[in-house]
């Protein structure tokens, strides 16, 4: 399977955002992974729609807005407007009752599609696949977290390997893995069936991003 790589700009030098975006593109990035955090769903605060609009002006790469926020329904429209192409939201952010979560997820998927964007569902390391199974027929992209969301530079959680394998057995679409991805963990997740790798630290902190992306893509 062809591997796609999305550098996570959380690890870039924000004082030189334009240069960093260009560096990612020149190195062979397939899209940009943009981490949106609200200080509620996760303890950290990062990027809002204004920065996504600014990034949009500087690149033709697809932008994946990874929303790690509560009440994603309140922000979908503004991220769509800011130029995100793929919009993912977390199943864990949709409330306490399972029924309510699924109802909200369905509404979000519909809304994102209506805005002509690609919806994706994100799932934390501790959340079982059963939480999103009934949604899979409505989606073609799942984001499997391999760290607890909130910060870049964390260690890969190997327990998610089984989940990726289990997901690949029942799902034909894109499986992106995010968190602690490097040449070694990248190879491991691809073996289990992932085809998209988001990587922040490994790519932006490398001296030769082109070589780093090449390694992620060849590791099949
Ligand atoms: C974690 C973010 C990740 C993170 C990845 O909350 O969703 O996208 O930026 O960074 P690395 O590759 O450094 O783990
Ligand atoms: Zn992310």
Distance 204 CA to ligand 1 centre (A): 11
Determine the angle formed by the axes of helices 209-218 and 183-192, rounding to 10 degrees.
30
Distance 197 CA to ligand 1 centre (A): 11
Whether the per-residue pLDDT at 31 is higher than 90: the answer is yes
Whether the per-residue pLDDT at 219 is higher than 80: the answer is no
219 against 217, higher pLDDT: 217
Average pLDDT on 141-157 reads 98
Catalytic residues, by residue number, are 35, 178
Contacts of 90 (CB under 8 A, 6+ apart): 41, 67, 68, 72, 121, 122, 123, 124, 149
Please report the pLDDT score of residue 220 as a whole number: 45
pTM greater than 0.75 (yes/no): yes
The ligand 1 atom at the shortest distance from the C-alpha of residue 8 is 9
Give the residues surrounding ligand 1 with Cβ less than 6 Å away: 8, 10-11, 33, 35, 66, 147, 149-154, 178-181, 198-202
Per-residue pLDDT band at 218 (split at 50, 70, 90):
confident
């Amino acid at each position: 399977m062809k591997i796609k790589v999305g550098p996570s700009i959380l690890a870039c030098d924000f004082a030189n955002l334009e240069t960093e975006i260009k560096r990612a593109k020149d190195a062979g990035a397939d899209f940009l992974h943009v981490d949106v955090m609200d200080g509620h769903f996760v303890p950290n605060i990062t990027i809002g729609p204004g920065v996504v609009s600014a990034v949009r002006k500087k690149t033709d790469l697809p932008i994946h807005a990874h929303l790690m926020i509560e009440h994603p329904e309140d922000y979908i429209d503004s991220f769509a407007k800011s130029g995100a192409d793929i919009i993912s939201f977390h199943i864990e952010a949709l409330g306490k009752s399972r029924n309510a979560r699924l109802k909200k997820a369905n509404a979000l998927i519909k809304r994102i599609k209506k805005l002509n964007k690609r919806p994706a569902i994100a799932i934390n390391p501790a959340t079982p696949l059963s939480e999103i199974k009934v949604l899979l027929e409505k989606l073609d992209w799942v984001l499997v977290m391999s760290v607890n969301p909130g910060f870049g530079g964390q260690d890969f959680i190997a327990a998610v390997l089984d989940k990726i394998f289990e997901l690949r057995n029942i799902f034909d679409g894109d499986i992106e893995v995010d968190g602690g991805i490097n040449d070694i963990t990248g190879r491991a997740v691809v073996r289990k069936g992932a085809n998209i790798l988001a990587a922040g630290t490994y790519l932006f902190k490398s001296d030769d991003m082109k070589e780093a992306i090449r390694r992620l893509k060849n590791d099949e």
